Structures are given as structure tokens and as C-alpha cells.
Chains A and B, each alone.
Chain A
């Protein structure tokens, strides 16, 4: 029985339980918990794009905490099992008041609102204004027609969950992000094999978040749990494996087809100009959940696992990146093949191996395939508002592989970083998929 079918069966049971529990009757305009979750995620994807510290690793961290918040808020009113004790450092959450009536949409809304407010306290004035408007609007919609005591009890419950999650987040190593993630000082590893700055942006003369790999992980044991073999040995000899990988990038970029260029652009997912690579996968998940008319359980289960997998993927990837500290294609190619060569994407300001987009796409595909099936076809409309048409995929893995190869088309990664990044992601995703959400 696939996970989606099992979840569907559970959903029927839990929905019946909710009704039997004498919840206040929702009016036609009152959103359900799943609607609340999806609505908040759409706001979160905007905030990620518009909060300058939210580079992809930082974004992935927030997605994990928001996912777990939504999950734990919903879990108390359903048959879902808490993730406390399964996720590293997450202790038992506050219990519900015995015998008290709760409204699940109000609980979920209060919990996510408070967690988002906490995680995005540093967003700008427009984000703050939008957050406040969202809280007012959704808070008003979900409480429509409910008894005051139910509202108060439910909001208190949501706030308590958020407080617990935010407290948990404080000592994971990722809370403080200074100078948009670029350390004021960083000693480069000597030698031609290693990363050197590739940007003319002064702020990016040090690498992004060099210590991110030592952050506390969520579901996998630690950042090194999904370690990788080393990349091909550095060599400047023509016909060496390393040189050949550089030639592959050089040739690919110089001979891009229109579709390959489109693919590179589609998965570019630049921070501050898009929801970032992990946000792209959340967007895919939200689109799928909406299409499937997913209920609350499936929604929070999916978003929690996905958030956890993405966050762990970035920690694991960063652990490897700074372990191997490999030079970027643009540096190598300009030095040895063509000094005037340029990539079509902006080379990210940190070491090359493995490819972050590949690792996190592999992790996301592993989780989503586990929930919706290995051959689940879908359409990805993430960038429609930015003028990029939707793309169709036969499976989550097809999308992940395209995300990976897009980095070669873009000229920012060698082949090994993509192939092994996807493998690393598969390993990371397995930990999130193994979380027990039902007894």
C-alpha cells in the first residue's frame, strides 16, 4: 500500500473523528487546516524571496521548522504521531487541555503565524506589513462563527507549539546569520584545486555559510551521515578525468540548445529573485497537494517531510562542500581552456562539489516519490509569474535530474557534482521518508 493510499485511509478516519469530537461547525467561507497551511506557505515563499538573509541553506532551515510546526499543530487533532523524539533535539510538545474543544484550523493558523513571525523577524517593512495583514485576514477567516473559548484555547495551543519549535530552533547552529551569510574573514585553502572567489561583488569574496555543514540536522544523524566519495582527482592534464569534466561544461555551455538554456533558467532559482531551490520544491509540493485536493494530514505530512529533507540536504551538502573545497568550472576553464569563457548562470559564491541543487533535489524527489509514487507525473508552475512557462515532468526523479543537469548547462557545476549530489540527496531523503507519522 503506497503511503498516499495509507494516508488517504487515515484521513477518512481522522475526519470522522474531528466531526465526532463536536468541533464548531465551519461556515462555507471558513478555511480548513490544509487551506491555512497552503496559504501560509505561499506567504513564506514570498518572504524567502524578499528577505535578503534567506540564501538557500537558510531558507531550507525555515522550511523545516515551519513544516514541523504545521505538522505538530495538526497532529494533536488527528491520528498523526508526533515527531518529538524522532527529530534531533525535538522534545515532547505541550499537551492539549484535557476535555477542551479545539478548532484545528485555528490551532494550525496560530502556530504557523507565530513560527513564521519568529523566523522572519528580520524581513523588511513590506514583509512585516504583509505578515500582519495575513495574520489579520487568516485569523479572522478561521475564527468566523466559533465560540470565543474555543478560539482562545486553540490559539493558545498554536502559540505554545510555535514557542516550543522556536525554542528548539535556537541552538541548531543556523539561527544567527550575519552579513547575509558571508563571513568577514575566511582563509582560502591554498592550491589550484580549491575554491577562490568568482564574483565581482565585494561581499562575496568569502564563501557563503562555511560552517553550515556542522549545524544540527533534523532527521539524519549529522551532516556527514550521507557523505560522498571525493570528486575526480584535480588535474590540469588534458584528457585527465578532471580536465574532461571541465571540457564537458565548456562544450555544453558553448553549444546550448534553446531548451537547455530554458532548463538552466528554469532551475536557476536565484536567491532574492525566486523562492530559492528548496522553495522551488515546496512550490512543486503545494501545486501537487492542491491538485490532489489533499486533506490536512497529507498536507502537513508532506510539507514536514519535505522541509526536513531539504534542510538536511543543505547541511549534508555544505559538509561535503567545505570538506572537498573544490574549484568552480569558471575558474578552471578561464585558467586552462579559455580566459574569456563565461557561464550563463551566475556562479554561486561557495565551493563546487557537490551541487547543492542536485543534493536537495534528490532529497526532495526521494520524499515526494515516497508519498505520491515513483511515476507521479506533474506540472511545475513555480515561475509563471516571473514569465517562465510551466514544465511537465513524468516523475519527481525526472524533475530532480533535470534540476541537476541544469547546473551543467548553466556552467556552474561539473558532472560529478551533479550525479553524486543526486545520490547524496537520495540518502538524505531516506531519513525524512523513514520518519514515523502514524502508529
Chain B
């Protein structure tokens, strides 16, 4: 029964910048306690060359208990599914179960409710055929390629995103593909086509995939409404190691039209990086998302070069990573100071101070001697002045295992964002956020009737103490080879008066409604927000 759901919510931004637990204006340092050994998670991302990228983690609730369950890619080994057996506020406990998702050859996985039946489905990215898995409820899944006419192809798939185009009953899926794995002696310049799986007009099935030409070996893609037009575009972060003549890309994907790339004439700036992961968040509360792009050595934080005063935004971005202190270009601890290699990245408020923080999974590609071999994960806390401060070591997440994918979610529903990281050739690691100095929070799950039940493309807005509004775009995609589904978390700082509203994917703005801090809410369209935990 759906009302059993707990709903939780969202990450925070500029809500209350009250220095909850802070000392001398520094953001409060969270405490993460590693519970890998006792958690039941023992997954390894295995394999050689074809698994040097990927290693995604997907978190989603597949049994309606609100606790996020996990699927961790296994590379050449079968993936591992873990049902979340944690109790609220307790240690993290996961139980490996057979769900139907345990396929070998998996690089990553993204959860979404494709058929809008209330059971989360998954898209499994693989070296070989991609597979869509229909959720049956109770954490059971079955292959749906044939029934949904999904052509899984035979490529080295490394990136995924999804959207519901305006008026569509069925999602549009984008798959990013890497190099031609058969090209052993000359793999460079062999990027294979990315695919756009659009729905049939009259059936709940997919059309044959459309090749997005040119394709430049993406390791992360994201449908995002960068200009607040109401129609998300597809950002593509490409690995310059393999393309020729390539660059970062953004596709205009408009209903009923062929995809078109944004051009230099329109303002798109030539940028070439080892694109590996995308995280997005409206950091400066101007209504437009910033984008963090992981790479090797310096990472990028992009903000619209000129936020429009009235007219349409131009797709020109300024790199503000250096100014904001998030270049994260080399290890910040230990004696290995060679350049870093960044992979999964995600914005979440880990100390609930109302300012969104940034996690980056780090790890050498494969013993590359010019890059750090002991490359600690980053946890960068945002300060009130917008700059970020590294606290990975102080917070306890500075593992130097060779990381790839990760997922940040509230695994034990205590209002604190926890962390799981997939490592290459080593066991995954999981940390419980055990901070005692964190601020308030809210977690929100969205729901609407009909297609796109989870309201992908919506924006959640939170207003604290009648001051600024922070907002979060609901997306499927980005990160590195894995995504999250379910409740969205926002830190509230020490705010006491909290209001939320939802801008639904069709552009309709819900009403502002008062909510209590430190609660998990379900926000159904045209309904008052409901506490979910209280119903249990």
C-alpha cells in the first residue's frame, strides 16, 4: 500500500545560514562512521580494461518501506542487490538478496519508474546489451526489453539520463556509450554513438534508438532544465581521452523535433575535459543550476556566465571552481600529491546547515603513475560565503581505495545523508552519518498521477523563516554510472518556520505550504503534504 511510504526529502541550500554547530564561522564538520564490516555490503567492482570506468551505485526503495535499497555494479562479476534492513536511526544493515538485477557485465544502473506503476524500475548499463528491468514490487524485477521494445544494443554503455518530454506518457531515455571495445590497437577516435530512446506516440513502448551524432565518449549525461524553459536539455560530459574533434556538449531535445546541439553562435563555449561525472544544484539561489564536472586534475564548477535579467539565458558558463575552492585537483592528505582522478559526484547537505555540500569519489584509472595512487575521496563543505572547505579526512570519508561510483542517501532515515562508495577491485565502503551537531532537515518525496509518477523534472522549493528560497531540480542521470530514486533531502540549518512548494514538470506551481522541520513528507500533486513516518 503506497501510504506506507515514508517520504523524505531534499537537500538544502540557502535556507538558514545560521551556523548550526559551527565554530568561528566554519561550517560544522559532519561525522561519518564507516560501517562496511557490519553492514552486510561486500560488493567488488571487478574486471580489467572494459571496467576501468563505471562502477555505479543505485539507491532506491523497492519494497515501499522508505529505506533506500542498493544495487552495486559488479563489472565482470554479477551485480549485487542489497535490501535495506536498517532501523530508523540505527546502524546500517543490508541483506544481499536475489532480485533479478544481478547481471554480470554491468557498469552502472539508474532507477526510475518507467511505467509509472509505483514500482521502481531500473536501467542497467552494461558492456554488451543494456537491460531495462521492470519492478514487480517487493524488490523483485524482471527483464522488460522485449515488452517495452527497448533495444539494449551491444556497446560499452557508461552514462544515462531520462526525462518525460512534454505530453509524453512514457519516458525518453538517453544512453551514453564509450569507445569501440573491439579497437585494441587504435581505440582513440572510436567513440560509438550515444542513443536516444524516445517513446512511441501511441504505445507505452520505445521507438528504435536514435543515434546522437556526433558522440564523444561520455561518462556522464544529464537531462536538466538549465535555462528554466520548462524543457530540459541533455548535458553531456565527454572523456577527451578518446574523442577527436570533440568537446563538452548540450543537446536541445524538444518534443517532436530532432535533437540539435547548442552551438558556439548561441553561446556554448568550447570546453574539453576528461568528463567523468556531473552534479547539479542551484548553489547561488538565482534559479539556475550550477554544474560540477569531475575530471582528472582540476575539476570544473560552472555557473551561467550571465544570468538573464529577463530574456532567455545563453548557454555560456564560467568556471568558478577555482574561486569557490572546489578544483580538488590533487590529494589533500598524505604524501602522494600527484594529480587526482574524479568520478562520481553529488551535491547534498551533509551537515544540514542549509548549504549544499559536495562529494567526489576519487581513484586512479589503473595504476597510472602520473596520477595519485592514494587519492582520497573529497567531502567539501560549503561555507556561508559560497566557498567550499575540504573535510574528507576530518569527516572520516577520506578512503584511498580506488573509487568509482557512489550514492548519497539517508539509509537509516534519521535525517542525515549517508554514503556508499563502489571501489574498483576492492570492496565497496559504506558510511553512516553519525553527526551530532547537524541542523534541521526535511525530506520530500513527490508523487503525481498518470505518467511520470515521481515528477522527474520538477523543482522543489523551500523557504525558511520567510527569507531566501532554495531549490532543487529533480533529475534522473548524472553522477558516475549510478543514480538515486525516492526521497530528496534538504538541510534547514536552525530554521523553525519552513515552507515548501513544488513546481511540477508541466510548469504548474503548487501552493506554498508550511511543514515541520525534521520530518519526511510525501507531496502529492494538489494535495497537502503528508508526513510519512508518522503513518508507520
Contacts and interface: CB of A to CB of B under 8 A. Distances in A.
Given A179-B339, A203-B297, A124 B188 contact: no
B338 A203 contact: no
A79 to B, nearest CB: 33
Nearest to A121: B369
Contacts of B272: 270, 273
Interface in A110-155: 121-126, 129-130, 133-134, 137
B378 to A, nearest CB: 13
Interface string A33-47: 000000000010010
Contacts of A124: 241, 365-366, 368
Contacts of B329: 201-203
A130 B184 contact: yes
Contacts of B365: 124-125
Nearest to B365: A124
A130 B240 CA distance: 17
B158 interface: no
Q: B185, B296, B367 — which one has the most chain A CB atoms within 10 A of its CB? A: B185
Chain B facing A: main interface SS: loop
Nearest to B368: A124
B189 interface: yes
Given A200-B321, A203-B297, A125 B184 contact: no
B344 to A, nearest CB: 19
A385 B245 contact: yes
A50 B330 CA distance: 20
A52 interface: yes
A134 B330 contact: no
A61 interface: no
Contacts of A200: 319, 321-323
A119 to B, nearest CB: 13
Interface string B204-246: 0000000000000000000000000000000000001110110
Contacts of B49: 125-126, 129
B186 interface: yes
A50 B185 contact: no
A49 B188 contact: yes
B188 A53 contact: no
A167 interface: no
Nearest to A204: B298
Contact of A122 (B184, B297, B337, B369): B369
A180 interface: yes
A126 B241 contact: yes
A203 B245 contact: no
A125 B52 contact: yes
A323 B189 CA distance: 40
Contacts of A386: 244-245
Contacts of A130: 184-187
Q: B245, B321, B370 — which one has the most chain A CB atoms within 10 A of its CB? A: B370
A264 to B, nearest CB: 13
Interface string B18-49: 00000000000000000000000000000001
B330 A203 contact: yes
A178 B240 contact: no
B327 interface: yes
Contacts of A272: 240
A274 B207 CA distance: 38
A153 to B, nearest CB: 27
Contacts of A52: 296-297, 339, 370-371
Interface string A363-406: 00000000000000000000001111000000000000000000
A51 B49 CA distance: 17
Interface in B333-372: 337-339, 365-371
Contacts of A49: 188
A12 interface: no
B185 A134 contact: yes
A84 interface: no
A385 B244 contact: yes
B180 to A, nearest CB: 12
A7 to B, nearest CB: 31
A184 interface: yes
Nearest to B327: A202
A166 B29 CA distance: 50
Contacts of A385: 189, 244-245
A178 to B, nearest CB: 7
A228 to B, nearest CB: 32
B241 A50 contact: yes
Contacts of A388: 245
Contact of A184 (B184, B240, B297, B337): B337
Contact of A133 (B184, B319, B322): B184
Contacts of A184: 337
Given A124-B368, A177-B370, 6 more contacts: A122-B368, A126-B188, A200-B323, A202-B327, A203-B327, A386-B244
* 7 nearest CB pairs, A to B: A387-B245, A202-B327, A386-B245, A133-B185, A125-B366, A200-B322, A133-B184
12 contacts: A53-B370, A124-B366, A125-B52, A126-B49, A126-B241, A130-B184, A178-B338, A180-B339, A200-B322, A201-B298, A203-B339, A385-B189
